[in-house]
Structure 1
């Protein structure tokens, strides 16, 4: 036993299951209990230490040297278990393996490229909103808007062909489920693992992509030697895995927020320049990515609790984003709030590389909606879709009043 362990504080213990269906559908009660219990809580069910307060979650996210991603950002420890697919070079790698892929994507997704997309994506949003409104005032906003817009806009930008895009969401659902335990949600995906993996991998080949999208630029970077040709398809796969589901559920969170906070919708209509801030506030409020794991590279002490080397730490991003020590009135969706600093996109070296792409998609869709729709309201109970990592949706029934 080390000297630090001899002096260590014994953390509170919880036998709660953060991956139980009832918790996944309504995580806030557990989040509150974990925050109140302590800065570190031991989850006996999974033999992991958990962080639910903003201060500790933020600190772990930015300290990749002691809390690594390379051993997997799920419950499985890649030091001892073979991953179900080659690990992501962005999400599941640390420097130096992480450096070149991130540098290439940062250049490809730089502001000039996004400025070129703004006009095109606004046109897509206008066409989609016109089509939805022509179908009547009542519809499922999740399927009609939150799913439909990213599934058209983002794959177009990557350079994917039109066929098979419906596979992106099931693949993402499967990938994010795999970060949790091998529970019934993982088992439910098992029969499609091979099929979906083959399809996604096929979209990452040079031949499958148009010549003017992000994908072609990734392959061009490999031709220049900025990446290896073996890395290029893995970088593309990361882009497709993380670039659709999270935006879909972030947009759904926005629409849910505005349907339940009509005064905030009017605020956006009066000030459409708030669209990006509204998306960030919705991401903070609902946290589409609820949890991620890290692995201690060495013995680490957090607030007196010693976390042994080579053990998993579960970070509750959703709990941190509603920590009352960090946010005033955290359970309220509020467009007067400055949501910057939320950890919904991660933080530090592994912060989501595509977050500005997601913000641009949200800006395009919300700006058009604010111009065309006077009011949004729920017509029934929204339904969630359980996922081990994502705060995801199944339906969002609404009625709108067009302008």
Structure 2
């Protein structure tokens, strides 16, 4: 055990000493330059061993696939209820009530998980696919008329902030606030740095708005939100829990989907042969999105907390240890993925960690897939070529890897 008193916390968690044989590394994974271009950091992290001790945060990090998968899959040894960021909720009070979905473990996690999974079950997703398709067709047709556009602001951001609130049943949508709310949640997982402070500064405006917008009286009863509130009527969850679950849809399902769609556009533009294959076989849209998620995991890192003294890959891990799991790095591990840094639209990247793993895997992943597939299939049908119209720019977020700017030009398919 660490000699440091429990009250001397680092970023809200108890510091630990480096386990025997584990490399110590004085690097800040939240450095803006690393967040914008993490691949060199990922490579060095994997090269140093199954775990690395991050000295400035007095915690562990893992970036290889095998160990990251093991930590994420074992919710009994590595818990989420003590926070999925640097903070240990058992020692330091979080800025908001913990998520009943993301920051809870069984049995508290079980009921809300059942409700949220039901709200986005296959039959629900099937019922909203036509709406997604119509919206995607209309948006891509509009962009074809422009020819030059920003793939983030004009497409990847517009689409999810329009169709997902409609699917949930939100009556008063505010796309900018939705994005700001997601940014708050994901930046808050990191340390007290500029990214976190600037995102949290929007809290006084964003939090009251999202709280009210997700209340029953502000939702249509026919959408995903209505299914969640029906569970409250049935006594499965409380009214308060229903509101929190609806909010969790937007905290986890907006910024990440924007990231995934923008990265897919980037991959297709950077790999014209892959775009040609997609055009020839639009049913590759799903595989294209999965490969994008593997290469550019929207959530690049989450923490788990060791709930007991344990061991992984021969490394002793003491109770209370925070482990920064670099999902983006694990998805690029050359020991697991052949030609890991190559975008291969024909790859079947089963087991990628972009949606997490285990009981906390993303319950809305099939909605995100349906959104992305609608966009990619519309592009395959209506666009002949994609090209960069300037340098893409990556943004800074403590937990989400995302494109800030993606200037593109396209040529329309000419029908004869």
Q: TM-score, normalised by structure 2?
A: 0.94
Counterpart for residue 137 of structure 2: 126
Aligned to 2:166: 156
Bigger drift between 186-195 and 275-284 goes to 186-195
- CA distance in structure 1 between the partners assigned to 2:227 and 2:272 by the alignment: 42
Q: Distance in 1 between matches of 2:173 and 2:38?
A: 36
The Cα shift of 1:190 comes to 3.3
Aligned to 1:396: 406
- TM superposition shift of 1:162: 4.0
- SS at 2:409 equivalent: strand
Deviation per CA, 1:142-181: give whole Å up to 9, x if none: 1111011111110000011244232000111111000000
Separation (CA, whole Å) in 1 of partners of 2:68 and 2:199 = 30
User: How many angstroms apart in 1 are the aligned matches of 2:356 and 2:291?
Assistant: 14
What does residue 185 of structure 1 align with?
195
Whether the aligned pair in 1 keeps the contact of 2:119 and 2:225 (CA below 8 Å) is: no
Q: Of residues 348, 354, 358 in structure 2, which corresponds to 1:338?
A: 348
Any residues of structure 2 matched to 1:78-227 within 5 Å, and which?
78-134=89-145, 136-227=146-237
Aligned match of 2:11: none
Check the 8 A contact 1:9/1:304 in 2, yes or no.
no
Deviation for aligned residue 1:215: 0.8
Tell me which moved more, 242-251 or 228-237: 228-237
Query: Could you tell me how far 1:186 is from its partner in structure 2?
Result: 1.2
Matched residues in 2 for 1:302 and 1:185: separation? 32
1:349 to 335, 350, 359: 359
Paired residues of 1:90 and 1:101 also in contact (CA < 8 A): yes
1:24-103 alignment to 2 at 5 Å? Answer: 24-103=35-114
Deviates more, 1:122-131 or 1:341-350: 122-131
Alpha-carbon shift at residue 344 of structure 1 (Å): 0.5
Q: Distance in 2 between matches of 1:323 and 1:173?
A: 27
Out of 58-67 and 295-304, give the one that drifted further.
295-304
Q: What is the distance in 2 between the residues matched to 1:386 and 1:164? A: 22
Unaligned segments of structure 2, at least 5 residues: 3-15
How far residue 18 of structure 1 moved from its aligned partner, in angstroms, is: 0.2
2:321 alignment counterpart:
311
Separation in 1, partners of 2:122, 2:197: 41
Please say if residues 378 and 398 of structure 1, whose CA atoms lie closer than 8 Å, have aligned partners that are also in contact.
yes
Alpha-carbon contact 1:374-1:401 (below 8 Å) kept = yes
Is 2:250 the counterpart of 1:247?
Answer: no
Unaligned runs of 5+ in 1: none
| Partners of 1:190 and 1:146 in 2: CA distance | 23
